[in-house]
Chains A and B, each alone.
Chain A
Amino acid sequence: MKVIKVLAILVIVFSIAISLIFDGQVFIAPIAEKLAPGMESEDVMKVQQRLKNWGYYDGSVSGKYDLKTYLAVMDFQRVYGLPVNGITAKDTLEAMGLTTYAQSGAAMAAASKVSDEQLLARAINGEARGEVYEGQVAVGAVILNRTKDPRFPKTIAGVIYQPGAFTAVSDGQINVPLDPNSTVVKAARDALNGWDPTNGCLYYWNPATATSKWIWSRKIVKKIGKHYFGI
């Protein structure tokens, strides 16, 4: 019984200590031009939140620029072709759609462009990360072709999250973090810039794993990598 009492007291003391540590955190909000390891601020939280949303960072949104954040920033910089130094300076902030100057039109547009790019890149990552490069662009192009077709939702998010439309969404593969060396972001950009290796296809399927009989009633236009593309 003694042992249990001691344990219980220890647990209580620990939890109080932990809650004190977290409550005691004061977030200062400087107008940061540059965020670097060791800093602690609300701006760091914003950066962590973005990195977390996009799957580069799996730590807590603590506002502390720690090692994990530093590594996540480096991964992000690698994907975005920025100088890889782990420091969140102006160029990195802008690439994230966070800017030091007040939300100007340019920053807002850049932010909305980044979020489209990221969502499309994640969908490509979930559906076709093992595919050849133009196969990845082709999957992105199919999603964009759907937004232009009257039979489908009109937005990128609407098409991607349409129930049952993509297996990568149904089974959560879409949330798999992007590999920094992966070409999916580049492929998403090419698709958004108008490259369409499928010449206007609306469907694709893997002939080896497709379970739907209906999909075979589609007319096959092209085969790229492992996927058939059709209309």
Chain B
Amino acid sequence: MSIREKLLDFKRRLSDRKMYSIVIVVIALVASWGIYQYKHAADLRQELDNQYNRAFYDMAGYVNNVEVLLIKSLISSSPTRTAATLQEAWRQANLAQTNLGQLPVSQQVLANTSKFLTQVGDLAYSINHQSMEGKKLTEEQYQLIEKLHGYSVSLRQSLNDLQNQLSSGRLKWGELAKKGTKLFQKTSSQMPNQQFENIDKTFQDYPTLIYDGPFSDHLTSIEPKGLTGDNVSSEQAKQSVINFFGKDKVEAVTDIGKDDSSIIKTYSFSVKFKNAPKEQEAKIDVTQKGGHILWMLYNRPVNEEKINMDQAKELGRKFLEQHGYKNMVDTYYLKEDGTAVINYAYKQNDVVVYPDLIKVKVALDNGEIVGFESKGYLSSHCERNIPTPKLTMEEARALITSRMEILSSGLAIIPTDYKTELFTYEFKGKLNDRDFLVYINAETGKEEKILLIIDTPNGILTM
């Protein structure tokens, strides 16, 4: 039967009345199902739209507040008043950033706006700390705030423009989020992207701002202090890898590339072991300068635990000593997946130097080292010039609330948010059945930090 005949046959059958009604019912069902689905999708799209709008309006509001607070902080003359204003600016900048992260605009377009908000926040935070100690703004800081205020004004204006377009209905978020449709890509989606891009461009000249905030650019590019020695060749680095695991264990070391763009430049290797299945490989990065091991990961199944934590700590310490990391003491640990991740810190004349940190992962079945991470150590390790403390232990202890029962004490160097270091007394104590660590500056007596210690069956965490 040809197609034409088939069609005619179908038509004849349809002319039977029963068939007509069945076809109509089916069509009606399909149509109503379609309408329902369409409405449902429209509702969801509207809901999403509303959320984007909320995030956007909230963000615009917070940016407004940041702008106002920055200018206010320039006017107030008392340090405490400045501190209070800047603290609020910090809070508002954080809220603005949270909302910014929810907008359906691609990240690269928003990167610098986000960075600006973070830096306003960080600057406010660090000046706030200084103001709380009663210090006034320096001329430089004054100018810096003024500059940031200038940016916040132009950001605010651009956001207001965009807000007008959104509220007049010329733009819709949902259309933006749905990138697949070419039509939208050509028309409306281009507009807001450009809008945001314009905002971004106005900030492109600022990321080199210098201030002591945790995210500041110049600090992230600091020369790693512990990266000693001359540049090594890939072949020499391979030798370091073999020494790291031990000649008798290594079957083969394969060069899998190098990284020339990070601050700590590396060679990467994969390592096969004797007495281990072929697909079980360890991966390891060796620094190009000095041939230090930056990190190592060896993922293998761990059998029944036969080693306790004390033995594991001792194994890790011995391993470090054998590989030239002297005077390392274990501080905290975490037991997971049949392995123990143990933190080791450098100890110089009875002072624990927390920034010089190496993490060692010990398999609890046979004590093998299955992980190693020394970024902290390589970034900050050096022989410190440790002064004699200006306060005695007793004087420092007297500064802590008498309600806290002191369990142990010692000297320690701790890192700050600003990538500097502080020389402190470390007191471990109990209050209301909770364990705390309190750090008192050994030179000024200032209480620098309080950590809550959480003792879980799997290890000790701090908060």
Contact = CB atoms under 8 A, between A and B. Distances in A.
Contact of A164 (B106, B264, B297, B337): B106
Interface in A168-223: 183, 186, 189-190, 193-197, 199-200, 214, 219, 221-223
Contacts, number: 117
Contacts of A34: none
B268 A195 contact: no
Contacts of B94: 154
Nearest to B282: A134
A193 B261 contact: no
Contacts of A38: none
A147 B263 CA distance: 19
A165 interface: yes
Contact of B262 (A133, A148, A159, A200): A200
Given A109-B463, A150-B118, A221-B259, A133 B454 contact: no
A36 interface: no
A200 B263 contact: yes
Contacts of A105: 434, 452, 454
Given A158-B101, A162-B101, A189-B337, A152 B107 contact: yes
Q: Name B's interface SS.
A: mixed
Contacts of B261: 219, 221, 231
B295 A183 contact: no
Given A151-B111, A193-B341, A197-B285, A94 B457 contact: yes
A162 B107 contact: yes
Contacts of B424: none
Contact of B375 (A109, A148, A158, A196): A196
Given A134-B297, A222-B259, A154 B97 contact: yes
A110 interface: yes
Interface in B150-193: 177, 179
Contacts of B88: none
B259 A199 contact: yes
B297 A190 contact: yes
B31 interface: no
Contacts of A154: 94, 97-98, 118
Contacts of A106: 454-456
Contact of A150 (B114, B294, B334): B114
B215 interface: yes
A37 interface: no
A117 to B, nearest CB: 9
Nearest to B460: A106
Interface in A80-131: 81, 91, 94, 105-106, 109-110, 113
B394 to A, nearest CB: 30
A153 interface: yes
A199 B266 contact: yes
Contacts of B401: none
Nearest to B119: A150
B115 interface: yes
A68 to B, nearest CB: 26
B104 A199 contact: no
Given A105-B454, A222-B257, A165 B107 contact: yes
B428 to A, nearest CB: 16
Interface in B320-364: 334, 336-338, 341, 359
A162 B264 CA distance: 29
Contact of B102 (A81, A163, A190, A193): A163
B262 A164 contact: no
B262 A221 contact: yes
Given A163-B103, A164-B107, A197-B283, A109 B295 contact: no
A153 B359 contact: no
A196 B295 contact: yes
B136 to A, nearest CB: 27
Nearest to B111: A151
B104 A164 contact: yes
Contacts of A35: none
A137 interface: yes
B101 A152 contact: yes
A199 B262 contact: yes
Most buried by A among B97, B98, B264, B454: B454
Given A152-B114, A164-B106, A109 B456 contact: yes
Interface string A9-41: 000000000000000000000000000000000
Contacts of A214: 106, 108
Contacts of A148: 215
A211 to B, nearest CB: 9
B440 to A, nearest CB: 23
A165 B285 CA distance: 28
Contacts of A81: 336-338
Given A162-B102, A197-B285, A199-B259, 16 more contacts: A105-B452, A109-B454, A109-B456, A148-B215, A150-B119, A151-B118, A153-B98, A153-B101, A163-B104, A186-B299, A190-B297, A194-B375, A200-B262, A214-B108, A221-B261, A222-B259
The 8 residue pairs across chains A and B that have the minimum distance between CB atoms? A150-B118, A153-B101, A151-B111, A163-B104, A199-B262, A133-B299, A150-B115, A109-B454
